[in-house]
Amino acid sequence: MTLFGLILLCSNEFKTLKDSIPLGVNLLAVSKGHHQDSIRKLSSYGQLDFGESRLQDAIPKKKDLNDLKQLRWHFVGTLQKNKVRGVIKEFDFIHSVSSFSLLERISRISQEEQKTPNIFLQVKLKDDPNKGGFIKQDLLKSWPQIISLNNINLIGLMTIPPIALDSYQRKNLFSECRNFANHLELKDCSMGMSNDWQEAIKEGATWIRLGSLLFGKRQT
Ligand SMILES: *Cc1c(COP(=O)(O)O)cnc(C)c1O
């Protein structure tokens, strides 16, 4: 039996969690792999930002939640070229833009769709065969072209530490991401997940992305 609408926290526990997040840090509830009723439940506690990692999973959930007009949708998954138009149409934020060619495509299609998505550039600050993202040097090299692109609202950097890092290395990686964003004069850093969000906040995260801490173990 599957219980839909189930989340780990009751409203008081959610409030306690929210109270422990400093002002200026935003909570993204990553609802991938969870039923729309769980999203509805969490939204009833006041949560407005939800993250999904697959376009085809997000579309039916959004349809079901269509009455909740105030929700903001964030794309956090690997973005494939052929999904860009759909993602631009369905999402307000994209956290996972991992290459210049992808960013150019987003800019072009956003113009066609008359949209201006909020964009995080995903950066890879340590070698990680499992993850995409800009290498620092490449991002710096493309920077003049990046900032001249239309119809993208470039707000920050996003990073995911490789699994193998210890907490000291993770802290350094988060701090490096914050410094790099500052250098590029970007306000936001999307970093920190269920297992390391407190460290990420200490190092300057402005968006933390929590999945299992809010929703429990994923169903898919
Ligand atoms: C799944 C996912 C999360 C949430 O991970 P948890 O460990 O469940 O909090 C955050 N960010 C991205 C990019 C994800 O894919």
pLDDT of res. 150: 98
User: 202 CA distance to ligand 1 centroid (A)?
Assistant: 19
144-177 pLDDT per residue, tens: 999 999 999 999 999 999 999 999 999 999 999 9
Q: Quick check: 197 pLDDT over 60?
A: yes
* DSSP tag of 81: G
Q: Confirm if 7 and 210 have CB atoms less than 8 A apart.
A: no
Q: Report all structural domains of the chain as residue ranges with CATH numbers, in order of start.
A: 24-215 (3.20.20.10)
Mean pLDDT of 55-65: 98
Which residue's CA is minimally distant from atom 7 of ligand 1? 194
**Torsions phi, psi for 97 (to 5 deg):** -85, 110
| Stronger pLDDT, 110 or 7, i.e. the higher one | 110
pLDDT of res. 9: 83
Q: Quick check: 183 pLDDT over 80?
A: yes
User: 148 CA distance to ligand 1 centroid (A)?
Assistant: 31
**Torsions phi, psi for 69 (to 5 deg):** -65, -20
Give the residue carrying structure tokens 């988060």. 174
Taking the CA of residue 197 as reference, the ligand 1 atom at the shortest distance is 9
- Grade residue 71 by pLDDT with cuts at 50, 70 and 90: very high
pLDDT of res. 2: 47
Cα distance between residue 162 and residue 127, in whole Å: 8
Q: Quick check: 211 pLDDT over 70?
A: yes
* DSSP tag of 22: P
Q: Using alpha carbons, list the distances in angstroms from residue 76 to 2, 45, 166, 175, 193.
A: 25, 22, 24, 21, 12
- Of 209, 218, 220, which is best to mutate to test ligand 1, by the most ligand atoms within 8 angstroms of its C-beta? 209
Tokens found for residue 128: 């990680």
- Of 8, 76, 121, 201, which is best to mutate to test ligand 1, by the most ligand atoms within 8 angstroms of its C-beta? 76
